[in-house]
Chains A and B, each alone.
Chain A
Amino acid sequence: MSTIDAPGGTRLMGFGEALNDALDVALQIDPTVVLLGEDIDDESTGGNFKITAGLSTKHGDHRVRTTPISEQAIVGAAIGGALGGLRPVAEIMFVDFLAVAMDQIVNHAARLRYMSGGKTPVPITIRTASAGGQGFGGQHSGMLESWFTHVPGLKVVVPASADDAKGLLLSSIFDPDPVLFIESSRLYFGNMAFGEPGGDPRRLHVEVPLGDYRVPLGKARIRREGDAVTLVTYGRQVDDATKVADRLAEEGISVELIDLRSLVPLDLETVLASAAKTRRVVIFQEAVTRSGFGGELAARITEELFDTLEVPVRRLGAPNTPVPYAANLETAYQPSAEALAAEVRETVERKARAS
């Protein structure tokens, strides 16, 4: 493995650009890193969302390979490649299409290390985009992280900002285990819908460290400190949650905002420390509430802190329905900033149980 200069500098980048930079760095520092997925090389326009643009030209189309529409073959080749000594990064265009490759991901990637008594680890990364809130309808709008957090052997990472996207992706690629890396496609456009008019697509640009910058998996990020209530979230919900926390601060409600960054491994320690301090917790997720990751988190917090909590842990997620198409229905479907603000207010104002 060669290294690149880490000049210690930073550059203002958007989410997609930071991901592209991470992939570029990974390809540079390790000749066994390879990318595969539909449309990802430059002859095919550098990917559906252009996240891999320029990489095949720079690193060769033998290392950055466009594939046919064959999700099983993509994930399978990544797994086999890993067994054979590569460090593959597969792109599956939308999280919804992971369903097509489920056998390779669940029965193989996740379990081969264990079933071989540790002899066949599968160090792959599967990058995929979620695309809710953009009028794409029932098969292109899913957020499915809990399908995968339920499978021992997989790690699940959901970045919320450009700097974390880069640092977490590099850590995922060089992690010894299979990592599902879920990118909210709205974050490619400043948390706006694809092609949405107006707004500033650069509003979420941040300074991103150059070079081989890594953010460890399993370390949550406290986005804002507070003492009245703990708000736990991840992915694109962090942007909404930040706005809500700002607004509530003006109302005198001090929110501690935790961005989990990775769900597996989970930084329970940071969550519990905050919950023990505020004694009130709200969990905010994009996905359907039923059997979602928020339920798991609520259980873990309650198991540890039942005696400390003043009020029950609350979850806010999507209703238990498929994603509707009509604009008014999709707006109603999405767990909104308004609903979150109301939920947090209610949690803070709720009378503590008699202890």
Chain B
Amino acid sequence: MTAPATDPQVLNRIYELAARIRLCDERVIKMLTGGEMAIIYYPVTGQEVLAAASGAVLRADDYVVTTYRGMHDQVAKGMPFGPLFAEYMGRVSGACKGKGGPMHITYPELGIMVTSGIVGGGLPIANGLGWAAQLLGQDRVTVVNFGDGAANIGAFHEALNLAALWDLPVVFLCQNNRYAEHTSYARSQRNEQVAPRAEGYGMAGVTVDGNDAAAIYSVLAEAVAKARRGEGPTLVEAMTYRFNGHYFGDPQEYMPTEEKKAAKAADPVKALRRKLIDEGHANEEDLAALEARIRAELDEAVAAAKAAPMPDLAELYTDVYAEELAS
């Protein structure tokens, strides 16, 4: 059973995961800014809390499917920093032996099954994970993460219909950060929200403040519990905001300054931290110690990644098939 969202332990757990994500994101951005690493990176800054809540709800054997902007979802699911940074840097010790890269972090050991760079690509696959669990009599749930923009691609519509029809144990978590690349949500569809589309497929749909830890946690906890009971899928639309544009280095000239300022002023990670202290669920020293531990973990992961070798050139030809083909 999942604990109620107001449980201080739950909020502390969400903060811990959110802090891991925020500090990891900060580290990546610092390395990119300082030229320590040159990769394509889609910052998750501003979207940490909803992912942390998802991580706090899910079990280790549940499945997660996510996108190129997926570091928060991966870390929330338990992705260790070591193989994450090693993969970013294309090292053999990376999660995918350096062959996938930042857009395709995969860690089935912890249920991180697919990270797709193709908008909408993950949704139909999540249905398959749900179907397998259903047929194999497992009570695992699949959470598939995607953006507001992905709600406009055919795969979204096909996947929602099938999931509803087959009562699949899948939670469709639409992270509505109000932009798809450089095009605003308002310029992408007529509907004010994504969640009401669920009704068209005979599925439950909920819009929730994804930056409010308690609110998003209780919605996700309910959706996941329902899926686990075999009562079918839910479309959860978590409202949030991208603080750092589409990709690292995005000049963001299409994002109004006032809007950005307001979002940053309501920084969900800082807000949760403040709430924990104000309500007496945590104290400053404990949180500072937690953050210091996370930073040390990041230091270690980055150092290990840097020291790790690149993949052997023979790796180019392996993993294409189960066995290498002669021609």
Residues of A whose CB lies within 8 Å of any CB of B are 38-39, 43-45, 48, 66, 68-73, 96-97, 99-100, 135-140, 195, 319-322, 324-329, 332-333
Contacts and interface: CB of A to CB of B under 8 A. Distances in A.
Interface of B: 38-40, 87, 90-92, 94, 96, 98-104, 116-120, 149-150, 152-155, 180-183, 187-189, 249, 253-254, 310-311, 313, 315-317, 320, 325
Contacts of A324: 98-99, 311, 315-316
A327 B183 CA distance: 31
A67 to B, nearest CB: 9
B104 A138 contact: yes
Nearest to A97: B118
A325 B40 contact: no
Q: Which 9 A-B pairs have the closest CB atoms?
A: A325-B101, A326-B90, A326-B98, A68-B152, A137-B101, A139-B117, A44-B182, A45-B182, A44-B183
Contact of A140 (B96, B117, B149, B317): B117
A38 B149 CA distance: 11
11 contacts: A39-B181, A44-B181, A44-B182, A48-B181, A69-B150, A70-B152, A135-B39, A136-B101, A139-B104, A140-B117, A324-B311
Nearest to B101: A325
The listed residue with most A CB atoms (<10 A of its CB), out of B39, B99, B320, is B99
Given A39-B183, A43-B254, A325 B99 contact: yes
B204 to A, nearest CB: 24
Contact of A135 (B91, B94, B101, B315): B101
Contacts of B104: 137-139, 325
B324 to A, nearest CB: 10
A332 B103 contact: no
Given A69-B150, A329-B315, A137 B182 contact: no
B311 A328 contact: yes
Given A38-B183, A69-B152, A139 B116 contact: yes
Contacts of B120: 69, 100
Nearest to A42: B254
B187 A326 contact: no
Nearest to A322: B320
A328 B310 contact: yes
Contacts of A69: 119-120, 149-150, 152-153, 180, 188
